[in-house]
Structure 1
Amino acid sequence: MVVLIGADVHKNSHTFVAVDAAGKQIGQITVRATHSGHEKAYRWARKSFIEQDRRWGLEDCRHLTSLLERDLLAHGEPVVRVPAKLMARQRATARTRGKSDPIDALAVARAMAREEDLPAAFTDEQAREIKLVLDRREDLVAERTRVINRLRWHLHELDPEVDPAPRALTHRPAQERVREVIEAGAGIVAEIAGMNLTDLERLCSLIGELDARLRAMVRKQEPVLLEIPGCAELSAAKIIAETAGIERFATESKFAMFAGCAPIPVWSGKTEGRVRLNRGGNRQLNCAIHRIAITQTRLEGPGKEYYERLRAKGKTVMEALRCLKNQIARRI
């Protein structure tokens, strides 16, 4: 007998509901979202279902479940990730009305019983390290953009004829020219502009250090990704971070669906073969693959040839680009 344990996770607490293969609830517990709370849930499951095979299901929101996943996997427990859309459908068909932590945990468990081919949780510490560094870099880039916008407004007030391009301000020559303009000015506006410029120089330096670190990490972990035309280190880092272990995907088509690159069939009768854009999947991963596809359409090689063949057959620019993205996802 297999016992399915669904979890509804929050920042401070986790609620677990166990069901049998038919979906009947046979147990429930709520614990704190800490190492000791996770250990308590594991001991409860081991004591309550000692003679049954256990399988844990967690809603796929890894900012809340990553610690729980690692603790359960450390005990050798099988864990799968349940997409949130499956929970919503299960709640809609349930006889229990309303919404609560036990209801949501029960929905996760019953979704596990209904869907046998859910992705297994996979702990990839190297991918996690890359994601942490990449997230830090993206935070700094966003802050740099805000600093540049503020600096350009102050420069406009100091001298309307000084209008450097935003991208140019990320480079040292443009920063030095701006500093000359600021030092020639006077007053509080020039003083604040100088502070913004100092912040900009600091952020550019930090971002450069993280770029170098990411390049080294990608070359060490997955150099094969760099062999894909149009895939540079930062795109490869995004792919590694968002994939979180390519081994957890049974087939290339499942990875393409996860990345939002596989088309969705929308045909019936005479419209056989018609598909539509997939707006689901991991949009961060989809964006990285999109950048690679755009680059391949500009470079001589198989990608551009494939794209041009599709265009010659009558497909629109976006249709041909989506087909190319699907091929790139399958190669990854």
Structure 2
Amino acid sequence: MANDPLKVIAGVDTHADTHHVAIISEHGKHIADQEFLAVGSGYRKICDFITQFGPVIGVGVEGTGSYGAELGRVLANEGLTVQEINRPNRQARRLRGKSDPLDAYQAAESVLAGRGTSTPKGKNGPVECLRVLRAARVSAMKARTIAVNQIKGILVSAPEPVRSKYRGMSTTQLVPALEHSRPAGTLTDPEYATAMVLKNLATRYRSLDREITQADDQLAEILALHAPMLCDLPGVGTEVASQLLVTMGDNPERIGNEAQFAALTGTAPIPASSGKTTRHRLSHGGDRAAKAAIHHVVVSRMASDQRTKDYIARRTEEGKTKKEIMRCLKRYVSREIYNQLTNPRPAPVITDLRPTRQQLGITLQTASGHFGTWPGTLSRIERGLSRDDALAHEYRTWLAEQNPVKDMS
């Protein structure tokens, strides 16, 4: 109809200091473009500029995880539909050239065409807190590794009086010994200078170690409030849980189903057949950190989870290789984690196991001997430090059988 208002689409090319905004109509006609400062007042002007031409269908923003993060939050708070724009097509860029206005118009055209776009992560909730805490923790871990490597490297060529004091010590023994050492001498003495540097490095190591421990405690506190049941899954600890939540973002509804989650975590199987060979491999796309987290879960379960061990034995008999079995396990783990994130279910209660055993006067050695396992394995299950639902169920059933029948006469 002639009186229908003009509907528009905006595209934003983001940079550290400025953002360039372009407006096109719903039919692809270029309407206007303008540059704004990447500051609070500039974001408000961008909102006014976008909405002055008519109803906004959507806004395509480059770099919603970096330069465009705050702009994306501001636009979303104004009720606008924000789309993350993927990297522009290089062939089209070579043909058309590159400039801020061209990139902004291309972002708007991507929204119009529905190609190369995705829903950006929300960065306004507890998951964003997890992300920044993890960033600090990762850098502290790298610095701690560098510090201990420097200590050991310096000790290799240190004067013999220094080397002899710390020869044969493990890292856990070496760091406290160096930290509490009291070097004496002058800076022109190599022995004193070496001992002083080693003490400083050990002090740095202990400081970083405390920083990592504090970050772990803070991550666990947020997880206990935001996703308390995620760590109930076997093999999922604070490190894995926090990474997978960061991968999903504060708006997990942007991931429509568990197949999309598998693609995001790099655990989706894709065909890799050729000729007479029919096989699959895992996708090389997705978040590499999330893929590493799921790999950690699989490795942990292969070592300690009885269900996983039984599955490996069965698939090995079918002729599957270890690599193929791990591929299947990663896909299963991603499905289980997605279901736990979207429909949390608590772990089975195990607090009754230890009191029941102690009431019956049964030792851990006796119980573990019946099941052919280590006493420490049952102890960890009783204390909730590890999870094996099948063994816990068998353990509870066996304890019930040991309970003497009371004479009701």
Give the TM-score normalised by structure 1: 0.86
Q: Which residue of 1 aligns with 2:208?
A: 203
Match of 1:27 in 2: 32
Give the aligned residue type for 1:98.
G
Corresponding residue for residue 53 of structure 1: 56
SS in 2 for 1:29: strand
Q: Does 1:233 align with 2:238?
A: yes
Q: Shift in Å at residue 208 of structure 1?
A: 1.1
Once the two structures are TM-superposed, the CA of residue 102 in structure 1 deviates from its matched residue by 2.1
Q: What amino acid is the match of 1:82?
A: I
| 1:214 matches 2:219 | yes
Assess, with a 3 A threshold, how the Cα gap between structure 1 residues 164 and 238 changes in structure 2: closer, same or farther: farther
Residues 147-296 of structure 1: pairs in structure 2 closer than 5 A? 147-156=147-156, 157=158, 158-159=162-163, 162=166, 169=171, 171=172, 173-179=173-179, 183=183, 186-245=191-250, 246-267=252-273, 274-296=279-301
AA at the equivalent of 2:244:
I
Corresponding residue number in structure 2 for 1:112: 111
Determine if contact 1:152/1:163 at 8 Å carries over to the other structure.
no
Aligned to 2:296, what secondary structure does the other structure show?
helix
Residue 76 of structure 1 is matched in structure 2 by: 79
Distance (Å, rounded) in 1 between the aligned partners of 2:232 and 2:36 = 46
Change (3 A) 1:304 1:10: farther
Work out the percentage of aligned pairs sharing the same amino acid.
Answer: 26
Contact in 1 for aligned 2:179/2:203 (Cα 8 Å): no
Structure 1 residues 284-293 or 318-327, which shifts more?
318-327
Q: Which stretch shifts more, 23-32 or 110-119?
A: 110-119
State the 1:231 CA deviation: 0.5
| Structure 1: distance between partners of 2:60 and 2:331 | 29
Question: What letter is aligned with 1:175?
Answer: V
RMSD: 2.8
**Aligned-partner Cα distance in 2 for 1:308–1:102:** 59
Who is 1:131 aligned against? 131
Q: Which is higher, the Rg of structure 1 or of structure 2?
A: 2
- Could you say if the C-alpha distance between residues 291 and 189 of structure 1 is closer, same or farther in structure 2, counting changes exceeding 3 Å? same
| Kept after mapping to 2: 8 A contact 1:154/1:190 | no
Answer whether contact 2:110 2:117 (CA < 8 A) is retained: no
Which gives a bigger RCO, structure 1 or 2 (Cα 8 Å, sep 6+)? Answer: 1
* Structure 1 residue 258, shift from structure 2 partner: 1.4
Structure 1 stretches lacking a partner, 5+ long: none
Contact preservation (8 Å) 1:4, 1:56? yes
Offset, 1:33? 1.2
Give the CA deviation at 1:47: 0.6
Asked if structure 1 preserves the Cα contact closer than 8 Å seen for 2:56 and 2:80, the reply is no
Cα offset, 1:184, TM superposition: 9.1
Residue equivalent to 1:11: 16
Shift of 1:286: 1.3
